[in-house]
Amino acid sequence: DAKTTQPTSMDCAEGRAANLPCNHSTISGNEYVYWYRQIHSQGPQYIIHGLKNNETNEMASLIITEDRKSSTLILPHATLRDTAVYYCIVRVVVADKLIFGTGTRLQVFP
Amino acid sequence: DTAVSQTPKYLVTQMGNDKSIKCEQNLGHDTMYWYKQDSKKFLKIMFSYNNKELIINETVPNRFSPKSPDKAHLNLHINSLELGDSAVYFCASSLEGVANEKLFFGSGTQLSVL
């Protein structure tokens, strides 16, 4: 079972920041938080990951709370092409697999 | 060049048939996976192979048999296809041994069993 909970859906206006929350209250100290997204009819795409520090790359920023029980993915300037299902995943390192939950369906509108 | 490629993209077949889906990655990764996405869009891992050896088998029926001729290929053979096998199947690969490795997915194979 997935170890994360996310809202089912969110809307965001084009050009605005999209903030996608994720709860992972049972996360272990050595587990990373990963974010992937799946655009319609495509394979999942890696976005970003982090352990406890905030992370930023060319796609997004990841903010992890100090207690690591939740995180937020930030798309700073959402575009229509960011419309997708976003998955927050806690990596089960020992078992070497990603367990996908139901994700958040982000709809970016003009 | 496509990093993880799957063929075919669409596969329509009758119940009881045997079919294969091929996957190849050109990233030099050690580990490859098969995921299944059902009609409700749940993505579930089926298998993982590391250097041609089976690492994960998520209680998939033995009608499903992955085959890894080399570490760049992981094919999925399905015997006696059933209606419930209809889904999108995704192949993925990653670099083994790195705690924070990321997976690269193919574009999927949509299997329809009639």
Tell me whether A59 touches chain B (CB under 8 Å): no
Residue B14 has pLDDT above 90, yes or no: yes
Do A49 and B102 make contact, defined as CB atoms within 8 angstroms?
A: yes
- What pLDDT, in 10s, does the model give residues A60-101? 999 999 999 999 999 999 999 999 999 999 886 655 677 788
Query: Any idea which residue has 């003009």 for tokens?
Result: A110
Contact call for residues A72 and A65 (beta carbons, < 8 A): no
Of A38, A43, A85, which has the smallest distance from its Cβ to B106's Cβ? A43
Position B112 confidence tier, pLDDT thresholds 50, 70, 90: very high
Percent of chain B with pLDDT strictly greater than 70: 94
Tokens of B15: 């119940």
pLDDT value at position A72? Answer: 97
* Partners of residue A92 in chain B, C-beta under 8 Å: none
Q: Which residue has the higher pLDDT, A39 or B39?
A: A39
Do B100 and A99 make contact, defined as CB atoms within 8 angstroms?
A: no
Of A30, A43, A100, which has the smallest distance from its Cβ to B107's Cβ? A43
Query: Any idea which residue has 């045997």 for tokens?
Result: B18
- What pLDDT, in 10s, does the model give residues B93-109? 988 655 557 889 999 99
Q: Which residue has the higher pLDDT, B60 or A21?
A: A21
**Ranges A4-18, A21-35, A54-68: which has the least confidence:** A21-35
Contact call for residues A28 and A94 (beta carbons, < 8 A): no
Distance from B104 to chain A by nearest Cα, in Å? 7
Of B42, B56, B90, which has the smallest distance from its Cβ to A97's Cβ? B56
Residue A37 has a CB neighbour count (10 Å cut-off) of: 23
How confident is the prediction for chain A on average, in pLDDT?
Answer: 91
Q: Which of A96, A100, A104, A105 best tests the B interface by mutation, with the highest count of B CBs <10 A?
A: A96
pLDDT value at position B56? Answer: 76
